[in-house]
Amino acid sequence: MKQITKIVMTGGPAGGKTTLTTRLVKELTERGYRVLIVPEAATELISGFGIKPFGNCLSMYDFQYFVIDSQLQKEKMAAKAAQLVPEERILIICDRGVLDNKAYVSQKEFNQILGSFSLTEDMVLKSYDAVIHLVSSSNGAEYAYSYNNAARYETLEQAREKEEQALKSWQKHPNRVIIGNSYNFDNKIRKAMNEIYKVLGEIPPTQSERKYLIKNPSQELLDKLQPVEQIITQSYLISRKDGTERRSRKVQNNGSIGYYYIEKQQISPVERIETERMLTQKEYVRLMDEVNPDYGTIVKRRYSFHYLDHYMTIDTYASSPSLAILDVQVANKDDKVELPEELTLIREVTEEIRYQGHMIAKAQGVLAE
């Protein structure tokens, strides 16, 4: 029987929803999940169809009817897709949910709209397994606030007001988690991810890892470990400004392909923001013109699996057919790690910089003992 979980990701602009969604897709795909994304309905209607309130004589009430109708239809499609995909564990992520629309109409009007779909607020709340509210950077992290969504332009003051209304809209959900800006950005995203792992009944990834150089594992051992297999093409891009690292990634998994963009920006001596977003194939191809010739592109085959109490990945490289790198997630770097007996360990390389991703790319993927 399939395990299907549906969560809402809500909150004001520039709260981290895009980065959180992208990281969830990457991490959970490694663990054998299929992640289905229901995009924000209002932005699609405004940007794609030109449907918006007032500007073309459409009332806010009618606009919210369109938004909720679109939202419900897309959630139904995601539920059907969840039954069709081969994976047994599916996470449906809704970029905002039906109750977010309460912020734009009166309670009476909202009830009327729901009634036209034979729904009540209680029925809507029960349709989501969890609500993750990422507090907007307009509340406590104003330096990171952006106006990049042309379809949803809001000033800081407007963003704060709408966020307060969203908080009230979802307050009755029994499994709502609010992730504030008291953490730095990476910690904020990690805390949100850990909450989602709890909802899924999964052990969250740890912040530390041990890295080992090993002999390339046999197919017999891989069959025994039953890993999730991916082909990862990672490109290191030319930096557009000092203190910024840029990468693109293509991930092939179980017949599907995902494209990602990662940017790390040093905003102070003690804090760095790492943002991620998913790309279209065209966007990914265009970025290939920006590949840094000093590092280039590297292709690796990744095998991800659980062994005893640890989550592990093995990366193999066509340019180094006899060697591989094993990463083991640990609570802290002093933890004792028990490796699969059939693996041939060469040595631990946790502290050796030449076995970090960008240095392997610089060496054109060649691993050395």
Domain ranges, ordered by start, for the chain:
3-200, 208-362
For 97-113, how does the pLDDT look when each residue is reduced to its tens digit (9 = 90+)? 999 999 889 999 999 99
Average confidence (pLDDT) over 203-217 = 89
pTM score of the predicted model = 0.81
Architecture of domain 3-200: 3-Layer(aba) Sandwich (3.40)
For 236-264, how does the pLDDT look when each residue is reduced to its tens digit (9 = 90+)? 999 887 778 999 999 998 888 999 999 98
pLDDT at residue 300 greater than cutoff 80: yes
Q: Can you give 196-212 as a three-state secondary structure string?
A: HHHHHCCCCCCCEEEEE
| CB-based burial label for 61 (10 Å; 0-12, 13-18, 19+) | middle
Q: What is 208-362's CATH topology?
A: Hypothetical Protein Pfu-838710-001 (2.40.320)
Q: Would you say the CATH fold of 208-362 matches that of 3-200?
A: no
- DSSP-assigned states of every residue in 115-146: HHTT--HHHHHHT-SEEEEE--TTTT-GGG--
| CB-CB contact of 36 with 124 (8 Å) | no
For 141-173, how does the pLDDT look when each residue is reduced to its tens digit (9 = 90+)? 444 445 455 455 556 566 667 778 878 899 999
For 75-94, how does the pLDDT look when each residue is reduced to its tens digit (9 = 90+)? 999 999 999 999 999 999 99
List of E strands, 161-207: 176-179
Least confident window among 41-50, 206-215, 236-245: 41-50
Q: Determine the pLDDT at residue 59.
A: 87
Residues of the chain above pLDDT 90, percent: 63
- Secondary structure (3-state) at 261: strand
pLDDT at residue 38 greater than cutoff 90: yes
The secondary structure element, H or E, covering residue 180 is none
For 49-68, how does the pLDDT look when each residue is reduced to its tens digit (9 = 90+)? 777 776 656 788 999 999 99
pLDDT at residue 268 greater than cutoff 70: no
pLDDT at residue 227 greater than cutoff 60: yes
Phi and psi at residue 362, in whole multiples of 5°?
-65, -35
Average pLDDT of every residue of the chain = 88
pLDDT at residue 368 greater than cutoff 60: yes
Q: For residues 50 and 333, what is the distance between their CA atoms, to the nearest angstrom?
A: 53
Q: Determine the pLDDT at residue 143.
A: 42
Would you place residue 271 in the very low, low, confident or very high pLDDT band (cuts 50, 70, 90)?
low
Of the ranges 42-46, 49-53, 171-175, 329-333, which is most confident? 171-175
| CB-CB contact of 365 with 299 (8 Å) | yes
The secondary structure element, H or E, covering residue 302 is strand 297-307
| CB-CB contact of 45 with 66 (8 Å) | yes
Q: Determine the pLDDT at residue 144.
A: 45
> Sign of torsion, CA 202 203 204 205?
negative
289 secondary structure, DSSP code: G
For 117-136, how does the pLDDT look when each residue is reduced to its tens digit (9 = 90+)? 999 999 999 999 999 999 88
| CB-CB contact of 166 with 173 (8 Å) | no
pLDDT at residue 343 greater than cutoff 50: yes
The alpha carbons of the chain give a radius of gyration, in whole angstroms, of 22
Average confidence (pLDDT) over 303-316 = 92
